[in-house]
Every structure is written in C-alpha cells, then in structure tokens.
Structure 1
C-alpha cells in the first residue's frame, strides 16, 4: 500500500534506528510497535490530527526513510526526526572512563529519542510502577488491544493505536481488574487522562519544569517522570531514581558494590546533564550489575481479588 507521506531524512549525525527508539517498545507483544521481517521498525501513534502508523527504514548510518499512513501521517512525519534523536547532539561528549568511551565510539548512533507524545509514555510508565516488567507489559498489551483502535496502513501484524485521553478515562473498573492493574495505578491513569492537554504541554517545557509539571499529579513521582523524560522529552540526564534494580546495577558496573539511590546519584554526579546517556552506555558496554542472588520483585496477581 502506498504511504500517505514519505520522508527521506538525512540526520545531522549517525543515528541507529533500533538502538534509539527500541526503548519505546513495551515488550515483544507491544501492539503499538513491531519489527518487520525486512528490518523495518513499525510504530503507531496518536497525534492531535489523529492516528498514524509509521514504517522506519535505516538506509545508511545517517539516512532514514519514514513512511506514514493515517489521518495523523503529516504530524507523525514532522515528529519523526525528533523521535530519532535529531536534537541529541553528542559532539565532544566524553566520560573519561575508558570502557564507557569505547562503548560510545562503538555505538555512535545511540541517541535519546523525543517523541513529544507525553501520554503515550506516561500511561505505560504508570503501569510499570511497583510491579515486575512482564506483568506491566501484559497489562499494557491487554488494554491497548481491548481499547485502542486499529492501526492504519499495511502493518506487518495486527497493530493498535493507543486510546485517547477520553478512552483511558472510559475504561471500566472491571477491565482494569482483568488487565491485572490495581485500583491505585488505574486511578492514577484516569486522573492524568483528565488533564491530558496540560500534561502534553510538558513536551515544550524545559526539562526541570516538565518534571515539575508531571510530578504535580498524585501518583506521579520522580521515577515515573524520568521514564517519560527518557522517551517523550529527549532528556539525556533523566535518571530513574527509585528503580528496583538500577542503583545496584550502576553501583556494581562502576564500582563493584551495591549502592542505594543517593550513592548512585553521587557516582553519576561527574556526568550531570548526561547521566541517562551514561547509564545507556553502561548497558551498551555490557557491564555486569549486581549478581542475581538477592530477592526479586514478586509477581502480584491483581486479578485474583
């Protein structure tokens, strides 16, 4: 099917599509994200103009083709360069740590995305609060499949577009229950959906003000705001403080010992302004975190009560 719009985008720097926007995928069964057999990345989005599906193909280290379908195709095409890291300039960036600088050299296309669609990152981040990742991904998949709309275009597998703000608010109590979402997280999503317009404005605010805007709402803390900033706002400094594993991972990767959040922030302080980038480079370098011998977060079955 011929796309409604096509953009051949020459990036101002190397951009690795999969590394950059892979963080937008919420598990292998995410109905809004798919990998084509030809290596193309497919993603759906809900723009102010309507739903859109985009197909993203890496043509060269700095050349990307973006094809779009749907009423939101023009808006999705306009947002694509930012989503692919156009604003994320790493010129002159160095950590001073050999293994991290080596990872940076080996991954020149690893960028911090900026989708500018805040609710699309906020809702799954809320679902991931205080539960294991697999459980959150299952909840996201069920809710989007049940209450999202069909994706426009010739998608490689059945895909859906996220519900609108009013759609999230209209989900009945028993459907949250069936999706394994406890009343507190469900109430938080419906609360923020009532103020979706104000929340979407965060995309155009300075990062500190955007975080303050998000954390103003009950149920949205520093961890959730950082998870949104890493995807929707293009913030290379957003650290997910309060994460169940992150402090221990960073502590062992950098200094071979357990750390709490305060110690992790102290260890990352030399790279203020780029702390999220450093964490991604730690992961790209394959550095090992805490040995898996401690307790793991338990699965909590919210459908059972």
Structure 2
C-alpha cells in the first residue's frame, strides 16, 4: 500500500465504533463507494465545493467499547481536506451526555442497546449532493430496487477512485454526469421516472445545495426547509439526508413505510402512525434520532403484516 497523502491519528475521549458509525453511509454490501473490509472502512468521494477526489481508509480502535486511537489515511487531491474533516465524519462532535442523563425512562432493550454500543456516533459528511443522490434513489421503492439503482448509477457514471482504493470501488458520479444521463437510460438502472426527475433537479442545483452544509438543520432558513422547497424532495428525503450530512440527532424520517410501526412497538407495545411516533418520541426531544438508532440495535422482532412486495423488474425488457 502506498504512503498516504495525508493522515491523522485521532485519540477521542469516548468510544468510537467505526464500522457501526459509518455503516449508515454504506448502501448495501456491494456499495461501490463505501466498503467495510478487514482492515477498516474505505470511502471514496469528492470534497464538496472543490470537487477533489479522495480515497479514505479509517482504521478502527482495538475495541469499539472503550476509547482508543482511530487512524485515518487519505490518498488523492482531496486528502488533506478529508483528514481535516475526519472528526466530523466520525461523529466526534456528537455529544450523547444529555441523552444519557435522561435515558432511564427508555425501555430496557433500548437502554441495553446503548450500553452494548457505546461507540455509536452520528456521522456528519457535509456532502449534500452525494447523500441526496443515494436517498432519492430510495424513495418509495423496495430495498433491492434502491440498492440496485445506486450500484448501477455509480458503476456506469462514477469514476475511478485514487489508488489504493480496493478493486471495484469508485467515486460517486458528479452532478454534471447525472445531468448528462439520457432519460431512457434510467430505465436500465431500475430507477423510476419520479426518481430520475428528482435526481436531475438535485444535479441542476448542486452548487447551491452544497452551500447548505453551513446552515443549521431546522428553522425557517434551515437545511430541511431549503430541501423540502425543491420539487421531488419531501420530508422523508430531507430527514434521511441531514441525518448523514449534519449528524442531526433530533431529525426523524416521517413518511417511512416501517419506522413509525417499529418505534410504536418498541416504546408502547403497539404499532402507530407518524403522528403517534412523534408523540412517543417527544420526551426525548433533541435526541429523537438517537432513540430511533438504538431501537434499530435493540433486537426487537417486529410484527409483519401482508405479503412481501415483489416489484416487476423491467430492466431487460
């Protein structure tokens, strides 16, 4: 492996579970842009604004349960900038102390999940356009469709990542590349017409969207308000985006097909809707997304109703 163009050894005062923290950025095991490998987590991306490509390797501490050193190595023109932003990428600005002080009222399984995963942080990538591309491809489709769409987009319209990125890893497509995709070609990626239209809107406004990284999440002039003003970008898409770009600890994705049911069962023993979910989460205002993440780690076996959706695949027709 060649020497990195930039590197840093972080020594956080809190545990950092690198794989769990960065796992929310990986779209499936075959994601060409984020991979968890035996040596650590690899990420390939461009620096917002500058557009400089970079390959990053994050080597975890010896244990995700106690504080320990985390090494970040970077190669390519964007290496220095990537290393400078490593603390935000790993959620080291993510303070759980106020949440922990009020966690006693949470169900036992959720409290246990917090004890068993003390290294969970909320990452903040700052990369608005990349995250919007991934989330838009998840709008109102199945898990398999979303993952297939992202792999197709990156493999056909992404670019090689700086060495020594593992074989098969690529940079996400630029906004310019997305704007150049013919309308008929989206069909080959199992991407629905409404999704491709939203993708083009994001690509057309890429420069302005990248500037949103400096804004607060909520409020009249916040990121969520700015995102939801765009046609094709609703509350669910905005929430799923800022959870990753800003590490937003309180932003919950309303409109999700399963989330309200799961939160309802975990916190009250019965399914609920979005309004009911928000009422149940109200005691943890300021930390609602932390609660949601822990519910996902708590080992609940949620009820299932109805047949599993099997959408028709017309890509080769």
Which bin holds the TM-score, normalised by the shorter protein? Answer: over 0.9
Are residue 50 (structure 1) and residue 48 (structure 2) matched? no
2:263 is matched with which residue? 250
Are residue 219 (structure 1) and residue 232 (structure 2) matched? yes
Counterpart Cα distance in 1 of 2:225 and 2:312: 30
- Alignment match of 2:95 (pick from 52, 71, 89): 89
**Contact 1:51–1:161 under 8 Å retained in 2:** yes
Counterpart Cα distance in 1 of 2:33 and 2:52: 15
**Contact 1:249–1:288 under 8 Å retained in 2:** no
2:155 is matched with which residue? 145
C-alpha distance after superposition, 1:93-116 (max 9, x if no partner):
232223322321221110111000
**Gap regions ≥5 residues in structure 1:** none
Counterpart Cα distance in 2 of 1:137 and 1:161: 16
Q: What secondary structure is seen at the aligned counterpart in 2 of 1:286? A: coil
Counterpart Cα distance in 2 of 1:296 and 1:252: 20
Alignment length, in residue pairs?
A: 303
Q: Which moved more, 1:114-123 or 1:97-106?
A: 97-106
Report deviation, 1:126: 0.4
2:177 is matched with which residue? 167
1:260 is matched with which residue? 273
2:214 is matched with which residue? 204
Counterpart Cα distance in 2 of 1:201 and 1:34: 27
Give the root-mean-square deviation of aligned CA atoms.
1.5
- TM-score (normalised: structure 1): 0.95
C-alpha distance after superposition, 1:97-147 (max 9, x if no partner):
233223212211101110000111111100000000111110100110111
1:238 is matched with which residue? 251
**Contact 1:27–1:134 under 8 Å retained in 2:** no
2:21 is matched with which residue? 20
Are residue 293 (structure 1) and residue 305 (structure 2) matched? yes
Counterpart Cα distance in 2 of 1:245 and 1:295: 14
Report deviation, 1:293: 3.2
**Contact 1:252–1:288 under 8 Å retained in 2:** no
- Alignment match of 1:179 (pick from 173, 189, 197): 189
Counterpart Cα distance in 2 of 1:296 and 1:266: 29
Segments of 4+ in structure 1 off by > 4 A? none
Q: What secondary structure is seen at the aligned counterpart in 1 of 2:8? A: strand
- TM-score (normalised: structure 2): 0.91
**Gap regions ≥5 residues in structure 2:** none
